[in-house]
Amino acid sequence: MSSLHYLFGKPACKADLRTVNSDFIVKEMLPFSPTGEGEHHMIHVRKEGLNTNQVAEILAKFAKVHQKEVTYAGQKDKNAVTEQWFGVRIPGKETPDWQSLSTKDNNDVKANEADLANKENTPRLTILSSQRHSKKLRIGTLLGNRFELTLRNVSDKVELEKRIQQVMQTGVPNYFGEQRFGHQGKNLIFGQQMLAGKKVKDRKKRSMYLSAVRSNVFNQVVSYRLNHHSIAPLTGDCVMLAGSKSFFVTDKWDPETLARLSSNDIQLSAPLWGRGSILPQADAANVEQAALIALTNDLQGLEQAGLEQERRPMLLKPQALKYRFEQDTLFIEFILPAGSYATSVLRELLDYQDVQEVARQQRVAEQQMQASMQVENLQKAQESTK
């Protein structure tokens, strides 16, 4: 992510993110209300210190169903407080007493030593509501997500406020965030290895690795274009209708089309790669081809995997953005459409440090050092017995 182009230049202001889980709050927004009847149970939960798969496992065990009967609209961070919807299919069974489900002393909830030592980050699961619904909850069935973030030890409030105003007016690059690529970008690495011929039997992992490769292609095209042309429209641009996946190619940028772009009725876009020829034309096509030259193997692999060409908006403008300062702490909240990343907004605002990620990396380094010392001591002991 650090190599991707910044729309307003790399921020100078520094701050700490996720000192505690409650510094990163996410609330899912559904595009519908549960119907109140049907074999699917819509469970609204608040989770902390747990990933989405862990919660799905807890719900399945509590309802006495296979975990494949538990669905969700999207993955949510572990190191956060998130309000998320789950669907549990229970045909021909009585309604479980969902409200009695608590993970306070649940053996299914596993925490590392750092979490246990920090009461602020103790894993918790709370059932907010439960209603029946007539349809299965599927991946991507979200209107958006509301983020409520706290950034501490802000180094330059004046610079940060200037950045916030720029983002409110123009938006940020709609990059896929680092979460998409796994720790140290391993999902991308494994995805490229898979496309090069390495076998991956697990269907979920295969899908995750393909998504990482495809997302990287998008990020690289957006970064290249912003670096060479900023947000200027180009002849032959493939633009998207706001709020939909529909797109069309612009023959020319006349005053009417420019006005639609300015009012966000249409949006500049970049490719989600798949089978088919490049969609833009003229200058816009030349720019995308130049950005894709170094990614030929990835493009061929995505096409062979059966993915189809799609588009994604190049820019992301946070909605309902509000913020306030208390001394050197920033409280900021905004709404993003499903599939967009709060960290992509934050990287344009400040050079932040994810406190919990730094702590995780330190734990990994310590464990590796301990393992190395154990191997070294074992070798010394073996040599001394010779």
Q: How far apart are CA 59 and CA 45, in angstroms?
A: 10
The answer to whether 156 is a known catalytic residue is no
181 and 216 Cβ atoms separated by less than 8 Å: yes
- Give the 3-state secondary structure of residue 282: helix
| Cα dihedral sign, 94-51-174-264 | positive
**Structure tokens, 16:** 């700490």
Name the β-bridge partners of 271: 311
CB proximity list for 360: less than 8 A, separation 6 or greater:
none
124 and 49 Cβ atoms separated by less than 8 Å: yes
HSE-CB at 156 with a 13 A cutoff on CA atoms is 14
Angle, in degrees to the nearest 10, between helices 296-304 and 186-195:
70
Given 23, 77, 237, 298, which residue is catalytic?
77
SS3 369: helix
Given the structure tokens 């053996």, which residue do they identify?
107
- Residues carrying an active site annotation: 77
